[in-house]
Chain A
Amino acid sequence: MDLIVEGIKKAFFLIFTLDTEVLGITLLSLKVSGLATLISLVIGISVGTAVALSRFPGRQIVVSLINTGMGLPPVVVGLFVMIFLWRNGPLGFLEILYTPTAIILAQAVIATPIVTGITLAAIQHLPANLRLQILALGATRLQMVWILVKEARLPLLAAVMAGFGGVISEVGASIMVGGNIKGYSRVLTTATVMETSRGNFDIAIALGIILLILSFLINATLTQIQQRERPR
C-alpha cells in the first residue's frame, strides 16, 4: 500500500515541480503523436472522402480493408516499419531507425486507417440528397466536395481525437522503431514501461497520470461533440 501512496506523492511532486526529464518526455510525446496525426489527417481525409463519394468495382473490399486497418495491432505495424527501415531494408538508406522520425512514421501508419474509416463513415452519413442540394445551389464538383467535408467537420474532429488518442497511448511500435533512447526517442508510454520494469514506480505513476489526463481531455471533447444536435 505504501508503495502506491508514496508513488502518487512523488508523482505529483514531479509533475508540479515540472521535472525536466518528465517534461521533456511529455513534450516529445505530444510532438511525435501530433505530427503523426497531422500526416494521417491529410491522407485519411482525402482517401476517406474519395472512397465515400465514388463508386468503383471492388469498393466494398476497399471499405473492408480500411475498417480492418482501424484495428491494426501496433506491434505488427512496429514490426513491418522496423523491417522496412532496417539497414538492409527497402527504406534502410533513410537511416531513421531508432529516431523520433521513425516513431512518427509508425504512428502515422497506425492513425491513417482510423482517420480514413471515420471520414468515410462521416461523409456517407450525411443526407443522401445533400450532394444534389449543393450542386443545385450552383456548386462545381470541387466546391461540392469542400462543402461536404465542412458539413462533416464535427465527426472529422472525432477522427482527429481518435487518431491522436490511438497513437499517444501506443507503446509497441514506438519502442520497437524508436528504441526508447533517453533524452532522444523516449516518449510517455515507452518511459512508463521502462521505469516500471526498473521498479521506479513513482516516475512510472507520474507518467501514467499525465497520459490519463491527456486521455481524459480527448474523451471529454469527443463526448461534447457527439452530444450536439444535427441540423434539419
Chain B
Amino acid sequence: MTHETCPPLLLRVEDLQVRRGGVSVLDIPALAIHSGQTLALIGPNGTGKSTLLLTLACLLKPFQGRIFFGEREIDARQGDFHYRRHVAMVFQEPLLFDATVFDNVASGLRIRGVGRAEIERTVPGYLELFGIGPLARRSARKLSGGEAQRTSLARAFVTKPKIVFLDEPFSSLDPPTREGLIGDLERILYQTHTTAVMATHDQTEALRLADRMAVMNEGRIVQIGPVTEVMNRPADGFVASFVGVETVLAGRVLRISDGVFAAAVEGGEIQAVGHVRTGEGVLCCIRPEHVTLSTNAPLSGSSARNVFSGTIRKITPLGLFFRVRLDCGFDLVAYVTRQSVESLALEEGKSVVASFKATSVHVIPRKTSSTA
C-alpha cells in the first residue's frame, strides 16, 4: 500500500444529515475533500450520491450539519451564493439553454457580470479544450448527446471553479462517446488541477478518473480511501460485491516486447497485454477468479507469465468460494473452491505460489497517478 500524499483540505463536512419526509436519506458524520483530487462516489442507484452532491454544491438544504470551504463555514441553509460562485455542477442531462453553444458556455460568466470583451477572450479556449470549437455558433437544439454533454462540461469549467460536482455525467452516453469524453475529462482535470467530486455507478469510470473513492449505501459512506485500497480491500461484503473485488495495482510500463509488456508495480513486476507506451502510467486489474494458487512452483507447461510467491493474510468464506488475500509484496486476491482450500491445506500465514496469465490482466491507461 502506498502512502497517500495529503494536499490541503478544500471542503470539510461535519455531521451532515438530509431528511426527506422526516426520514433520513443521507447521514455523513465526516467527509474531507482535498485540493486537486478527484473523489468518486460509487454505489447503486438511490443510495444518496446525488443528494450528497447537491448538498455539497449548496443546492439542497441539509436537515443538519456544517460544511467548511477552506476556513469559511458555508451558509448551507441560506443557499450561500458566494460559495456557489466558487463551485460548479454538471448533471446527467446536459440541461443546456435554448441558445448557441457559445452562449451556453458563456452563461456562467454572464451571470457573474463578466464583460463582453473578457467573455470573447475566455470562452473560445474552453470550447477548444472540450473539442467543441467548431460548434460554437450551432444551436444547442442541434447537438448530439456527446456534444451536448461537452458543452455542459465546458460551461462548468469556464468559470474556473474550485470544485466541480459531477452527477453521473456519462451515464446517458453510448459507450464509444463515453470513452472519448472520459479520456478528455481525465486530461482536463489533470491540466486544470480542478478538484472534483463525481457520482458514478461504474467502477471503470472511478478507476480512470478518481484518486479517492467513497462507496455509498443507504445514505451512508461505507468505505472511503484511495481507489486502489477500496478496490483491493473492501471493508465488507457490500463493498466487495459492488467494486467486484479486483486486485488493482497502479504501475508504470517498463518495457514492451511481442505485444506483452512489463509494468513495475509497488512490490513487484506484472506481465500484461495491452496498447501502452513505455513510461505510461497504468492500472492493472486482476479478477480474483483468474488467480490460481498452488503450494509449489507451477508446472513448466503452464502459460501463466505472472508467478508470485506470497503469504496468505486472510481467508474469507463466500458461499461456494473462499476469498484468499495474499501478500506477494503487493496485495493479491484469489477465489478458490472449497475443494482446493482442503487439498492445498490453505490457512492464514501459509506460503503459497500464485499465478495468472498476462491476458487475464485488465489494463486501464492512466495519465495521472494517485501514487505519484
Contacts A127-B93, A133-B91, A232-B143 given: A138-B98 contact, CB under 8 Å? Answer: no
What is the CB-to-nearest-CB distance from B135 to chain A, in angstroms, rounded to a whole number? 13
Q: Which of A128-142 contact B (CB under 8 A)?
A: 129-130, 132-133, 135-141
What is the CB-to-nearest-CB distance from A157 to chain B, in angstroms, rounded to a whole number? 12
> Is A127 in contact with B95, judged by CB distance below 8 angstroms?
yes
> Is A132 in contact with B111, judged by CB distance below 8 angstroms?
no
B112 at the binding interface (Cβ < 8 Å): yes
User: How many residues on chain B are close to A (CB under 8 Å)?
Assistant: 32
Contacts A138-B111, A138-B159, A232-B148 given: A133-B81 contact, CB under 8 Å? Answer: no
> Is B141 in contact with A230, judged by CB distance below 8 angstroms?
yes
Contact with B along A187-210 (1 / 0, CB 8 A): 000000000000000000000000
> Is A232 in contact with B97, judged by CB distance below 8 angstroms?
no
Q: How far is the CA of A138 from the CA of B145 in the complex (A)?
A: 24
A162 at the binding interface (Cβ < 8 Å): no
Contacts of A130 in B (CB 8 A): 95
A231 at the binding interface (Cβ < 8 Å): yes
Q: How far is the CA of A130 from the CA of B140 in the complex (A)?
A: 15
> Is B59 in contact with A135, judged by CB distance below 8 angstroms?
yes
Q: How far is the CA of A14 from the CA of B112 in the complex (A)?
A: 57
> Is B93 in contact with A129, judged by CB distance below 8 angstroms?
yes
What is the CB-to-nearest-CB distance from B85 to chain A, in angstroms, rounded to a whole number? 4
* CB-nearest residue of chain A to B99: A231
Contacts of B79 in A (CB 8 A): 135, 141
> Is B91 in contact with A129, judged by CB distance below 8 angstroms?
yes
* CB-nearest residue of chain A to B60: A132
B84 at the binding interface (Cβ < 8 Å): yes
* CB-nearest residue of chain A to B167: A129
Q: How far is the CA of A154 from the CA of B99 in the complex (A)?
A: 12
> Is A138 in contact with B84, judged by CB distance below 8 angstroms?
yes
User: How many residues on chain A are close to B (CB under 8 Å)?
Assistant: 23
Q: Out of B57, B97, B155, name the residue touching A231 (CB < 8 Å).
A: B97
A95 at the binding interface (Cβ < 8 Å): no
Q: How far is the CA of A132 from the CA of B252 in the complex (A)?
A: 41
A226 at the binding interface (Cβ < 8 Å): no
> Is A151 in contact with B148, judged by CB distance below 8 angstroms?
no
Q: How far is the CA of A143 from the CA of B112 in the complex (A)?
A: 10
> Is A135 in contact with B96, judged by CB distance below 8 angstroms?
no
Contacts A129-B93, A136-B88 given: A231-B140 contact, CB under 8 Å? Answer: yes
Q: Which of B68-106 contact A (CB under 8 A)?
A: 79, 81, 84-85, 87-89, 91, 93-98
B271 at the binding interface (Cβ < 8 Å): no
Q: How far is the CA of A127 from the CA of B93 in the complex (A)?
A: 9
- Contacts A136-B59, A136-B88 known; 16 new A-B pairs at CB < 8 A: A127-B95, A132-B59, A133-B95, A135-B59, A136-B84, A136-B87, A137-B88, A138-B108, A138-B111, A138-B112, A139-B81, A151-B98, A229-B141, A230-B141, A231-B143, A232-B96
| Residues of A that sit less than 8 Å from B by CB | 127, 129-130, 132-133, 135-141, 143, 147, 150-151, 153-154, 228-232
| Residues of B that sit less than 8 Å from A by CB | 54, 57, 59, 79, 81, 84-85, 87-89, 91, 93-98, 107-108, 111-112, 139-143, 145, 148, 155-156, 159, 165
